């Protein structure tokens, strides 16, 4: 078994994480990930209130006795998001692991710290990681440019961003963006990570409650089948290449266009209803990473975790020995 600071801190069997995903991170999938020995996160903003989040947490506990957490994505919104209620539900339900994303979670950290909650914060740059650690987060999840969703505006790939972050902070690091198999895990560990975060890989699993057409499309797609939207708005999003995202990119080639010009196309309800619910993969914007080019099947979560762990163990052992020619590594 691969043991790292992540497995020790959170009491999980493998250093594999399924971070929060809008429209995906519900209790059944999170429980399946937990039962497989990895760490999954319920997405808080699926719930309209603290009571609904309580119910989702309890539903997950009915399906697993393994550790899991809650994702709290902190973003500006036209409609008020009950973040204080979510925090209350997390603490009162006894959850001890939270993944935050978006803006820095400084206003939530005091309550979390006082109640023994460990906080993983997702960052897209070294400078943001350094700030988050100074503010008191326990773990940094660093997102490379390959990732689904919001990769930031620096356009730095994980093979540079990960070791640069490892050089800059002394807390455990989770590698995110482009992670999909045992090679990913082995490489991330060698580059300074204590674990890997996978979103797209867990979307294409049997337990994930999105339409089968979406899962099949992920398998069919290559690493080239994503697009970057909202570049001119400095709110870049990596999404699946389809009729809608191509239209958004075409419109946004004109730098004078604003969000109002594409609002009808990028509305989240279209992606959740038409794509994830009804299976029309051209029916709206939906998020996926370049790692889809490494995904060729739709297994169970248990199979995903087992196969990735075994492949990583083999690579870290046999391949390293082969490369070194049976010699012991010479200390630097």
DSSP E strand boundaries for the chain = 16-18, 39-43, 69-74, 97-102, 118-123, 139-143, 173-176, 195-197, 226-229, 237-240
Long-range contacts for 55-64 (Cβ within 8 Å, ≥24 apart)?
56/26, 56/27, 57/27, 57/89, 57/90, 57/93, 57/95, 58/93, 59/27, 60/27, 60/30, 60/31, 60/34, 63/27, 63/28, 63/31, 63/32, 63/35, 64/30, 64/31, 64/34, 64/35
The whole-number pLDDT of residue 317 equals 87
Overall size of the chain counted in residues:
332
Q: Phi, psi at residue 296, to the nearest 5°? A: -130, 10
The whole-number pLDDT of residue 34 equals 98
In this structure, how many other beta carbons lie within 10 angstroms of the beta carbon of residue 188? 26
- Give the alpha-carbon dihedral of 225, 229, 231, 236, to 10 degrees: -90
As a whole number of angstroms, the distance between CA 155 and CA 168 comes to: 19
Closest CA to 17 of 38, 31, 35, 34: 38
As a whole number of angstroms, the distance between CA 136 and CA 113 comes to: 9
> What pTM value is reported for the model?
0.93
Question: Which residue, chain included where needed, has tokens 């994505």?
Answer: 73
The SS3 call for residue 139 is strand
Closest CA to 43 of 63, 65, 73, 66: 73
The whole-number pLDDT of residue 318 equals 75
List per-residue pLDDT tens for the chain, 332 residues long.
899 999 999 999 999 999 999 899 999 999 999 999 999 999 999 999 999 999 999 999 999 999 999 999 998 765 788 999 999 999 999 999 999 999 999 999 999 999 999 999 999 999 999 999 999 999 999 999 999 999 999 999 999 999 999 999 999 999 999 999 999 999 999 999 999 999 999 999 999 999 999 999 999 999 999 999 999 989 899 999 999 999 999 999 999 999 999 989 988 888 889 999 999 999 999 999 999 999 999 999 999 999 999 999 999 987 777 777 765 554 54
Would you state the structure tokens that stand for residue 189, as one six-digit string?
Answer: 């560990």
As a whole number of angstroms, the distance between CA 202 and CA 196 comes to: 12
The domains of the chain, with CATH numbers, are: 5-198+303-324 (3.20.20.70), 212-290 (no CATH)
Q: Any idea what the Cα angle at residue 217 is, between residues 124 and 242, rounded to 5°?
A: 70
Closest CA to 76 of 199, 203, 233: 233
Closest CA to 304 of 9, 16, 2, 10: 16
Residues 6+ apart with CB under 8 A from 17: 6, 38, 39, 40, 41, 141, 174, 195, 196, 197, 198
């Amino acid at each position: 078994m691969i043991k790292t600071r992540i497995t020790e801190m959170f009491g999980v069997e493998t250093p594999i994480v399924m971070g929060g995903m809008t429209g995906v991170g519900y209790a059944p999938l999170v429980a399946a990930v937990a039962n497989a020995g990895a760490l999954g996160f319920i997405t808080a903003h699926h719930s309209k209130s603290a009571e609904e989040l309580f119910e989702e947490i309890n539903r997950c506990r009915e399906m697993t006795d393994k550790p899991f957490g809650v994702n709290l994505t902190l973003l500006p919104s036209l409609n008020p998001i009950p973040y204080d209620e979510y925090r209350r539900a997390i603490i009162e339900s006894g959850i001890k692991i939270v993944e935050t994303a978006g803006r820095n979670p400084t206003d939530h950290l005091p309550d979390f710290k006082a109640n023994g909650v460990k906080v993983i914060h997702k960052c897209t740059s070294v400078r943001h990681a350094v700030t988050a650690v100074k503010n008191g987060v326990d773990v940094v999840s660093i997102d490379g440019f390959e990732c689904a969703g919001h990769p930031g505006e620096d356009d730095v790939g994980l093979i540079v961003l990960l070791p640069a972050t490892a050089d800059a902070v002394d807390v455990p690091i989770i590698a995110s963006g482009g992670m999909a198999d045992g090679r990913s895990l082995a490489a991330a560990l060698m580059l300074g990570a204590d674990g890997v975060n996978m979103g797209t890989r867990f979307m294409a699993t049997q337990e994930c409650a999105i339409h089968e057409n979406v899962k099949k499309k992920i398998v069919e797609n290559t690493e080239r089948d994503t697009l970057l939207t909202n570049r001119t708005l400095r709110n870049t999003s990596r999404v699946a290449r389809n009729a809608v995202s191509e239209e958004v990119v075409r419109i946004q080639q004109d730098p004078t266009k604003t969000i109002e010009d594409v609002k009808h196309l990028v509305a989240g309800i279209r992606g959740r209803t038409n794509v994830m619910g009804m299976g029309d993969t051209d029916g709206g914007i939906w998020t996926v990473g370049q790692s889809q080019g490494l995904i060729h099947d739709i297994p169970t979560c248990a199979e995903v975790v087992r196969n990735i762990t075994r492949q990583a163990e083999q690579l870290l052992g046999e391949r390293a020995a082969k490369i070194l020619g049976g010699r012991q590594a010479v200390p630097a």
